[in-house]
Structure 1
Amino acid sequence: MRRFRPRPLPTVITLVVLLILASLGTWQVQRLQWKNDLLQRMEERTTAEPVLLDEVRLDDPAAVAWRRVRVVGRFLASPGPPELYGVESHGGQLGSRLLGAVETADGRTLLVDRGFTPEASVPPAPPGGQVELDAILRDRSEDQQTWFLPDNDPATGHWFWIDLAELGRIFGRPLEPVALQLLPGSPGATVQAKPPRLDLPNNHLGYAITWYGLALALLLVYLVFSSERTDPRS
């Protein structure tokens, strides 16, 4: 026979840790719902019929992110070397994303992700004159340098994070807080341009199970620790 006899200090510690573990599990459940909603919204917006950019307000980037748009405008020339963003590998080729800027018919200027370009090849120049682009809007309003990203090198055209203010200075126009990611076949898109990836990591369910599992294990350990054998003869 065993009798439950809790001790004050272990009980307080267990309750605090249980609260923390349960909170972490609940937070991961909330993150799971948020991620599922985001993926669904991304899928719906990227597969919907495109709308004219002239009809889209850009002052709330999160509200229009991932929307497919048609854009009428002209590419701006970069005064220096091609602007290359990040480092990627496609089909065994090392390269970067080719950046540009487009001035729309209504006077707005947007950064443009033209697609992947191999390091060993000369980046293609943007088309001249007025063009009609097929693109996905991407929110760039919160881009900033993190501790593991190196500094950008505007002099050589190498960018490791999107600095809209500095890129706007190079292209000679202030840039909107959203960028265009060109779809394959759009004027100005590179040969290896691809649609945006929608397979964002979604491991929140596993994390939630882990935190709740630790909470349950802690509770079981506490119950065993707080029980003691009793002498049935007493």
Structure 2
Amino acid sequence: MKNKLSFSIFVYFFILVFLALGTWQIIRLNWKLDLINSIDQSLKSDPVEFNGSNPINYKKIKFEGILDNSKIIYLYSLNEKGEPGFDIVNPVSINNKSYLINRGWVPKDFKSKKHVSNESKFEGVLKLKSKFNYFKPDNDVNKNYWFTLKDEDLLTYTGKEFSPFIINNISKQEGIYPQSKQIGANISNNHLKYALTWFSLAVSIFLIYLYFRKKNY
């Protein structure tokens, strides 16, 4: 009798754990949906004046800045069609604050061409730099062939430290290179799948428990 009670407690404990994990994923799901909706609304809104202070992720901005064309960075990237090329990234000074602006994408064979810009007024979207990916190749700073915007390499190449926020240019340039990249709320949202997994495990264990209980009690 004691062994049966201990077994029941053991089973119910794990069922409660799985139910708690499933409930937590539902909470995370609602939070993620609110976050994605907030980002979508921000991207649809009009740009606000930006002076270089208090950057906010996915905020649409407009600003005046000074591009450093002597330190253009060629960041390997694919366009929306999956074609290889480079994002043209410039250091830009906004009220003496150093940022990087991704001016857009060019085909791979355009690397040999000059991509100097004398623009000083921009519209863009602030976005936190991607986390460092250990599976990407190292940057070849000497050849100006980049795979990641690694802080140490940026300091070596430009002699500057930059904000962790990248400005993605969103000015419409149909048919003109560099082409602005589409910016969206590219945030993974697998919480519903995880929640269903945990709830399914809880139900499965409970059904198996009932089967063995009916068979052995």
- TM-score tier by shorter-chain length is 0.7 to 0.9
Structure 1, residues 147-206: CA drift from partner, whole Å, max 9, x if none?
4233333222233333235324422332122110000337xx944212302253323212
Q: Counterpart of 1:176 in 2: which secondary structure?
A: coil
TM-score (norm 2): 0.83
Distance 1:194 1:92, change over 3 A: closer
Structure 1: runs of 5+ lacking an equivalent:
none
Identity %: 24
Distance 1:45 1:169, change over 3 A: farther
- 1:34 alignment partner in structure 2: 31
TM-superposed CA distance for 1:88, in Å, is 1.5
- 1:93 alignment partner in structure 2: 83
Indicate if the aligned counterparts of 2:122 and 2:171 stay in contact, CA closer than 8 A.
Answer: no
1:124-203 mapped onto 2 (5 Å cutoff): 124-128=114-118, 131-140=120-129, 143-185=130-172, 190-203=177-190
Q: Higher Cα Rg: structure 1 or 2?
A: 1
Indicate if the aligned counterparts of 2:79 and 2:181 stay in contact, CA closer than 8 A.
Answer: no
Structure 1, residues 31-77: CA drift from partner, whole Å, max 9, x if none?
212211211111121122211112x633xx5xx11111111011113
C-alpha RMSD over aligned residues: 2.8
Give the alignment partner of residue 68 of structure 2, picking from 57, 63, 76.
76
TM-score (norm 1): 0.77
Q: Which structure shows the higher helix fraction?
A: 2
Aligned length: 214
TM-superposed CA distance for 1:6, in Å, is 7.5
Distance 1:195 1:154, change over 3 A: same
Distance 1:23 1:87, change over 3 A: farther
Distance 1:13 1:86, change over 3 A: farther
1:115-130 mapped onto 2 (5 Å cutoff): 115-122=104-111, 124-128=114-118
Moved segments of 4+, more than 6 Å: none
* One-letter amino acid of the counterpart of residue 97, structure 1: D
Give the alignment partner of residue 57 of structure 1, picking from 53, 56, 72.
53
* One-letter amino acid of the counterpart of residue 60, structure 2: R
**Take 1:13 and 1:78, find their aligned partners in 2: how far apart are those partners?**
67
